[in-house]
Structure 1
Amino acid sequence: MTVTKPLTDLEIAYNAEMKPISEIARNAHIPEDALEQYGRYKGKIDPAKIPGEPKGKVVLVTATNPTPAGEGKTTVTIGLSDALKQLNQKVMVALREPSLGPVFGIKGGATGGGYAQVLPMEEINLHFNGDFHAITTANNLISAIIDNHIHQGNELNIDPRRIIWKRVLDMNDRALRKVVVGLGGPTQGIPREDGFDITVASEIMAVFCLATSLEDLKERLSNILIGYTYDRKPVFVRDLGIEGALTLILKEAFKPNIVQTIEGTPALIHGGPFANIAHGCNSIIATQTARKLADIVVTEAGFGADLGAEKFMDIKARKGGFHPDAVVIVTTIRALKMHGGVEKSELTKENVSALLKGISNLERHVQTVRNFGIEPIVAVNRFITDTEDEIQALLNWAKTKNVRIARTNVWEEGGKGGIDLAKHVLEVLNEPKQFAPLYDLSDSIEQKITTIVQKVYGGAGVVFADQAKKQLKQIEENGWSNLPICMAKTQYSLSDHPKLLGCPQGFTITVREIIPKLGAGFLVCLTGEIMTMPGLPKAPAALKMDVDEKGNAVGLF
């Protein structure tokens, strides 16, 4: 008996038959002069040339706290859009762009999997249409201008010890977290401490994703805080006079990218902030453009509902002037067993008792979504190791808790495997909503953070480290308190301790720093040991990558 080896995601992508992007755009009623082709299968859309108002309904896909086993949130997002298309809905999917850091690290790409992928997978995961390079360049132009300004006489009286702006690189490189620049004598500049963040953590990325127009982009760039003077007055990008140059670098990147799913559903992929260190959502300009072109827009927010979904609703939706009309929470039997105490090596074995214990994590995320006034749908992403007893136990829990739930198998079946989920989504879209953000912007900073910790994480309260207390006082003195909160927290746990799985009780969150991001328009709160420049694992994914004799990628996932 011959056993056929399953195709890899990359092999499935290579075997798929893509349509010219001009045909995808035409079928989506995108005006011909609005499409700018980047080769045969990719393009950009000029949002200024898309008529009408954004009226499409938004479906947000989120998840339980992720585990190393993987939950397949992006795969479900893509499969759901294909399922809605099969049900004759006018639909678009709107996603974030992959970062090269996780592509070559441990997580891999961000184009879905199996028969629920966006294409061309290889090109989207590697460089795409150059947006991240533009964002990296704009960020580092600010750094270059700062150091040059100090070298040329420092007219603004910038204190080199109080520069908060960092350089960036779209790669996981822990060695660059703290560096010293300007060494080598007077002609090399003024020595000072500096550091690198990963590009997706840059405020430029957040500004890029939250701007509603080119004019708004320029205004936000001008408002970026880069540091303080010797007498502790804030210094902004507008003081350096380079907001025009930054906008020039970003003007083409700011146009949303259009590609397609394996089943030909149009996909806008634009922007890529991480949800554990940034706000974790694709660009407002792409979402609003999709809402002009489709009746339903399926989008996702990074990691679990405690991170991406909370930020989608408290930051992105608030700034964009819209809200999700349905929310899907993706989970897996494997993840719930892991949250119930099972080791990764034992996840293939049936364990109903651990599953029932781990369901507490799912229940916390269901309550989080309900706190925003929306009734969620749970999507159980199927794996071959799931047993009927385990599935039935989860279905019974959902029935007892009055939670909508749907089994999905989009990795194997594409859109067909998401039909049940799509039908639930269509039901919810037609129901009334009472959406509201969790907190008012006029609440104190401490009050806003505490609300997130208690209503989203299920924690008891917040502890502010000494540095955070000093920064809090400075933020209040400068009048920057009326901003939403962007929590930087581990994705693996509801707490700030990555190994505290399930649904922990009675814990406190420690805020060690509060960084004002005035261009983006939010306050970043660093908790636990979260890093804005990740490191590579012991065996990076890059070790398995290659190119064959025809120039095709090998080992990309």
Structure 2
Amino acid sequence: MRTDAQIARGTRLEPISAIAQSLGIEADEYEPYGRDKAKLSLGLLDRLSGRPDGRLVLVTAINPTPAGEGKTTTNVGLSMALNRIGRRAVTTLREPSMGPCFGLKGGAAGGGRAQVLPMEDINLHFTGDMHAIGAAHNLLAAIVDNSIHQGNPLDIDPQRVVLRRVVDVNDRALRNVVVGLGRRVDGVPRQSGYDITVASEIMAVLCLASGFDDLKARLGRIIPAYTRDGEPVTVDRLGVTGALALLLKDAVKPNLVQTTENTPAIIHGGPFANIAHGCNSVLALRMGLKLADYTITEAGFGADLGAEKFLDIVCPSAGLVPDAIVLVATVRALEFNGGVQGAALDAEDLGALDAGMVNLEQHLDNLAKFGVPVVVAVNEFPTDTAAELDLVRERCAELGVRAVGSTVFADGGAGGVELARAVVELCEQPGEFTPIYDAESSLRGKIETVAREIYRADGVTFSSMAQRQLERLSAQGFDELPVCLAKTQYSFSDDPGLLGAPRGFTITVRELSVRAGAGFVVGLTGDVLTMPGLPSRPAALDMDIDADGRITGLS
């Protein structure tokens, strides 16, 4: 089979003007970025405000494994398949971070015959959104340090500057740094560090904003530091809200591209799913819902992370109600959860598959608590046997959930027609969407509810620091905010080695911080880091470009 890059280069892309016109987007409502990309004007939503929304479908997955689940590939393939059966569909996706792209994970534009294009641009600098977010974030960091250096008129405590700088590269050497070293004119020395750009609160703000005015209001509420008396110092108090918004004037506009079958795709924003909420922007979703009959979106990593945050943070904040959920699984990943690894995953092992099914079953049970109909998409591999696929279908049927095979990687939209028809039927079923916790619950109560109901932990342990932070945040009036638990993606627990559906464990919250602009409180668990490191052999070592601009090793 041809590589992703070969398939992408062999695809005939429509001019982006034709993609825009197919959705009814007027000429003054998009700005072309070359032939294949465009920025969508926020005025589009004003014109379409009276139009009813289409259906919203969330694509999520079981816990990720080295065997791969193909969540983005399924998302893209489903949108193409819906168009094949006469339903106007749009896929909405996050923008890839260059950190994982050059590190271990690789690109995030789908795969095989189910990709969003131009794949190479999307995985690299795209339309510059990531750089704009990094520039705005680092400007804010510089403003904070400059305020301290220039007489400290706001009485900022240098030891309580909580904003770290960002860079969109996996670089463990930057996790802990000291700034301000050198002469007196070089600033006030203090310990700090770097996060990856997609962990920036400004990224979360961009993705949760309902418009430009809301973007500015959220930016103004960000708290990068505290005074010596423990009072929050906001961006508004620092007087830099307008400058940050200026740097984001183009980044706030969603990006229009297309799939390998010319299905429209809106790609915008890219918060990490384990250390942030892991979903594309609300603006992209709103545009998709106004422009198409079906908007297919996805939430990063497993359903215990991305889907939980989409349903508990994004939907209540934006007033969205999902019509259906697609839970992606593979035989290989289920067998991995059942104890099989490496080359053995290519061989039939019904015992391991049966043992690993508990992971899928717990995700299904969790999603049922939100009141949204679910279908399982079995992303098929050539090594899957009929007996293995039958076992997955039978076990799902016993749980009252339909399991549908998908071959969109190999066959494009044609390989997702059965899944598309199942999704259409699912969207017609009545649902009663309800977040897993009440907004009025305390922060502690919300954390404990997620740990108990989603992770199945016996309880939650708070470090002494987290306990103090919990008390302070509650006293400052942040109890009404939802919680965004940063946890390993590989397990329901905070231990990546506990596969399947572990029991008899507790979740340890070691640190809490408020994202007042984004509108949630982050709780760090386990060993989750906000700045990833590179693996022993980074993907960057296999990448190259020739004199004709032909890129290799990027997929």
TM-score (norm 2): 0.99
Structure 1 segment 349-364 matched on structure 2, within 5 A: 349-364=347-362
Question: 510, 513, 516: which is aligned to 2:511?
Answer: 513
Per the alignment, in what secondary structure is the counterpart of residue 243 of structure 2?
Answer: helix
Structure 1 segment 256-405 matched on structure 2, within 5 A: 256-405=254-403
Match of 2:410 in 1: 412
* Contact 2:350/2:388, CA 8 A, preserved across alignment: yes
Shift of 1:503: 0.4
Match of 2:4 in 1: 9
Shift of 1:345: 3.1
Match of 1:3 in 2: none
Answering whether residue 451 of structure 2 is matched by residue 453 of structure 1, we say yes
Question: 81, 94, 97: which is aligned to 1:96?
Answer: 94
Quote the Cα distance in structure 2 between the aligned partners of 1:294 and 1:187: 56
Structure 1 segment 201-216 matched on structure 2, within 5 A: 201-216=199-214
Match of 2:240 in 1: 242
Quote the Cα distance in structure 2 between the aligned partners of 1:321 and 1:400: 34
Match of 1:161 in 2: 159
Shift of 1:387: 1.1
Answering whether residue 44 of structure 2 is matched by residue 46 of structure 1, we say no
Quote the Cα distance in structure 2 between the aligned partners of 1:306 and 1:402: 20
Match of 2:524 in 1: 526
Q: Name whichever of 450-459 and 101-110 sits farther off.
A: 450-459
Match of 2:220 in 1: 222
Q: Cα deviations across residues 445-483 of structure 1 (Å, max 9, x unaligned)?
A: 111111111111122111111110010111012111110
Quote the Cα distance in structure 2 between the aligned partners of 1:348 and 1:492: 21
Quote the Cα distance in structure 1 between the aligned partners of 2:507 and 2:320: 30
Structure 1 segment 120-135 matched on structure 2, within 5 A: 120-135=118-133
* Contact 2:227/2:233, CA 8 A, preserved across alignment: yes
Match of 1:68 in 2: 66
Structure 1 segment 495-510 matched on structure 2, within 5 A: 495-510=493-508
Shift of 1:541: 0.3
Quote the Cα distance in structure 2 between the aligned partners of 1:164 and 1:541: 32
Match of 2:56 in 1: 58
Quote the Cα distance in structure 2 between the aligned partners of 1:155 and 1:364: 53
Question: 89, 111, 114: which is aligned to 2:109?
Answer: 111
* Contact 1:364/1:458, CA 8 A, preserved across alignment: no
Quote the Cα distance in structure 2 between the aligned partners of 1:416 and 1:482: 46
Answering whether residue 180 of structure 2 is matched by residue 185 of structure 1, we say no
Shift of 1:404: 1.0
Q: Cα deviations across residues 143-192 of structure 1 (Å, max 9, x unaligned)?
A: 11011111111000001001101100011101101100111111111111
* Contact 1:450/1:462, CA 8 A, preserved across alignment: yes
* Contact 1:270/1:283, CA 8 A, preserved across alignment: yes
Shift of 1:399: 1.7
AA partner of residue 222 (structure 2): I
Quote the Cα distance in structure 1 between the aligned partners of 2:14 and 2:450: 44
Answering whether residue 27 of structure 2 is matched by residue 29 of structure 1, we say no
Q: Cα deviations across residues 312-343 of structure 1 (Å, max 9, x unaligned)?
A: 01000011101210000000000000000112
Quote the Cα distance in structure 2 between the aligned partners of 1:336 and 1:391: 11
AA partner of residue 321 (structure 2): H
Q: Cα deviations across residues 51-88 of structure 1 (Å, max 9, x unaligned)?
A: 22361110000000000111100000000000000011
TM-score (norm 1): 0.98
Quote the Cα distance in structure 2 between the aligned partners of 1:9 and 1:115: 8
Quote the Cα distance in structure 1 between the aligned partners of 2:37 and 2:120: 12
Q: Cα deviations across residues 430-453 of structure 1 (Å, max 9, x unaligned)?
A: 111111111111101111111111
AA partner of residue 472 (structure 1): L
Root-mean-square deviation (CA), in Å?
0.8
Quote the Cα distance in structure 2 between the aligned partners of 1:49 and 1:338: 45
Answering whether residue 231 of structure 2 is matched by residue 233 of structure 1, we say yes
AA partner of residue 18 (structure 2): E
* Contact 1:275/1:307, CA 8 A, preserved across alignment: yes
Shift of 1:344: 2.5
AA partner of residue 494 (structure 2): D
Quote the Cα distance in structure 2 between the aligned partners of 1:448 and 1:374: 20
Identity %: 54
Per the alignment, in what secondary structure is the counterpart of residue 224 of structure 2?
Answer: strand
Quote the Cα distance in structure 2 between the aligned partners of 1:501 and 1:344: 15
Question: 59, 82, 85: which is aligned to 2:83?
Answer: 85
Q: Cα deviations across residues 511-536 of structure 1 (Å, max 9, x unaligned)?
A: 00011110000000000000000000
Quote the Cα distance in structure 2 between the aligned partners of 1:134 and 1:549: 29
Q: Cα deviations across residues 382-428 of structure 1 (Å, max 9, x unaligned)?
A: 11111111111111111222111100000000000001110110001
Quote the Cα distance in structure 2 between the aligned partners of 1:550 and 1:72: 31
Structure 1 stretches lacking a partner, 5+ long: 1-5
Quote the Cα distance in structure 1 between the aligned partners of 2:506 and 2:374: 27
